[in-house]
Amino acid sequence: MHTANEMVSNIREASRLLVRELGFMSPTLAGTELPASAVHAIIEISHSTPTTASSLSKTLNLDRSNISRVLAKLVEAGAVIETPNASDGRQKILSITDEGKEISGRIDKFANEQVMKALKNLPAGSAPEQILGGIRAYATALRAQRLGEEVKPVEGMAIISGYRPGLLGRCLEMHMQYYSRAVGFGGAFEAQLATGLGELLNRLDSPRSEAWVVTDGTKICGTVFIDGEGLGEGKAHLRAFIVDDTLRGRGLGRKLIGKAISFVDDHAFTETHLYTFRGLDAARRLYESCGFALAEEALSNKWGKEMMIQHFVRTPSR
């Protein structure tokens, strides 16, 4: 058993080794000619929703002057473009270009091979899941300390079905906290979402509609709804799927979606539909792993700014 001082010392030593072996001491990273900050900026811009400099600054833990220099170099290199934010003239939306996608692809290939080779060198009996859990928990704790957030243990979370007081308000709050920062959505999106959620709550008395929440016992930390009436006979609509920022990447989103899919299958819906927009790559991978397939996509201003709206459909055969 390590003492507290020994544990701190050992974690610091392991952290230094990890930083060195991942290549962060070098002037360039991941087989590119870019510094670490630019590599991480490209990863975040290409793998997430359209974002802004202020959001990227928070994600990468870089101050405004540093993020401005990084973005200026990426724009000059043709990897990133900046477009005006219709909802906030002070902000610009950052998007990846074809050149940026090519660089991102090379970064992913390099990093994936690096991780896979390391996993093959693990001692016999090592569990990759435990390593992932430990790294993720420590990184989450560091981020929470920097941002003044509370780290909620997943083990203490429960997924409960049905209406809960404050459900609409908390669902709306989580959506706006994320999408206003990441995409620049404003009042038009919030108004439409509030109206839609209000109508949906009135349908929860139907046996073919349901809501699920992630809760720590006092606070709602995630939501998903199935609307079994709005799209017509035999069609379910998966709506308002969101997990609190402090719990992202810890498996709760998959569990929430799993509850909704089980409900859909148990009630013999012939189709399940969901609407999202291009750029939510992690969410798309989750949807597709649950049997959803992209049915169509089209440009639309329905949420207050032009986005490529995507329509996914799941049938029982998938």
> What confidence tens digit (pLDDT) does each residue in 169-189 have?
999 999 998 888 777 788 888
**What does pTM read for this prediction?**
0.61
Is the pLDDT assigned to residue 127 strictly greater than 90? no
On the question of a common fold for 4-121 and 154-314, the answer reads no
Pick the CATH number of 154-314 from 2.60.40.10, 3.40.50.1820, 3.40.50.300, 3.40.630.30: 3.40.630.30
What pLDDT, on a 0 to 100 scale, did the predictor assign at position 139?
Answer: 84
CB burial of residue 233 (10 Å; 0-12, 13-18, 19+): exposed
Is the CA virtual torsion 102, 107, 112, 114 positive or negative? positive
Q: What percent of the chain has pLDDT over 90?
A: 52
> What confidence tens digit (pLDDT) does each residue in 129-161 have?
778 778 877 887 887 788 776 666 566 788 999
Is the pLDDT assigned to residue 302 strictly greater than 60? yes
Domain boundaries, the chain: 4-121, 154-314
Q: CATH number of the domain at 4-121, please?
A: 1.10.10.10
Instruction: Pull the structure tokens for residue 66.
Output: 């540093």
What pLDDT, on a 0 to 100 scale, did the predictor assign at position 312?
Answer: 96
Q: How far is CA 67 from CA 58, 64, 70, 138, 240, in A?
A: 10, 5, 5, 25, 32
What pLDDT, on a 0 to 100 scale, did the predictor assign at position 22?
Answer: 92
